[in-house]
Amino acid sequence: MAYSKIFSGDLSELLLEIIQYFQNDYETLYSCILVNRLWCCLIIPLLWEDLFTIHKYSFQNYQFIGIYLNNLSDEDKTKLNEYKIMNNINKDLFPKKSNTLFNYLSFIKCLNLQIFTVCIEKYFRKIMNLSFSHSIILTKSVYELLFKMFIENGANLHTFEAILPDGYYKDIIKYFNSIFNQYPNFICNIRMLKLIFIKLQIKQHFILF
């Protein structure tokens, strides 16, 4: 099978099958990016499809949030800068613009909303050196903008996880129902939907396939 793919010119398909075995070995994957352009093009989507699980247990590097922010539209950047001025935040929110080879926003496959939120807040605190209060203020706006950008860039989830606090979950579910009905392709390949409803420190887990 492997030989037939090589001789038929399906080297990229064969490499992709091999790379899947290293899906959770991030050190190896990062090293393989440097082999050549083909390897890079195959591995980058794999690394970016589940970023918020990668950083779940090691919140140290949040630079990828800056890459996401640089891909916001000019209109969204203007809105965010206006919001920054309104809240007396005197820092440039966007890293120096650089050309990227990939549409990173389209690669995401797994989205945990809580880890997503924490990564944004940590980015503003640790990378941008903003105060805790300013970080919290900006996190909600950036969260909504990036979520919208995932959809607009053609992301297609297979895992979606969220914690829904008691008293707010109806509004949150209504919001996501509206989003998902409007953009069905965003969740058409969902394999796991995990919702955690919190009430008085008690968690109830619902896992749907």
Residue-wise pLDDT for 142-197, tens only, equals 888 888 888 888 888 888 887 766 655 666 677 777 777 888 888 888 888 887 77
| Greater pLDDT, 102 or 204 | 102
> Are the beta carbons of 155 and 108 closer than 8 angstroms?
yes
Token duo for residue 101: 């080879």
Q: In what order do the strands lie in the sheet with 159-165?
A: 110-112, 159-165, 192-199, 202-208
What is the pLDDT of the chain when averaged over all its residues?
76
Token duo for residue 89: 């935040």
Axis crossing angle, helix 11-19 with helix 37-48, rounded to the nearest 10: 40
The structural domains of the chain, with segments of one domain joined by +, span: 1-48, 49-208
Q: Is 0.85 surpassed by the pTM of this model?
A: no
pLDDT of 13 > 80? The answer is no
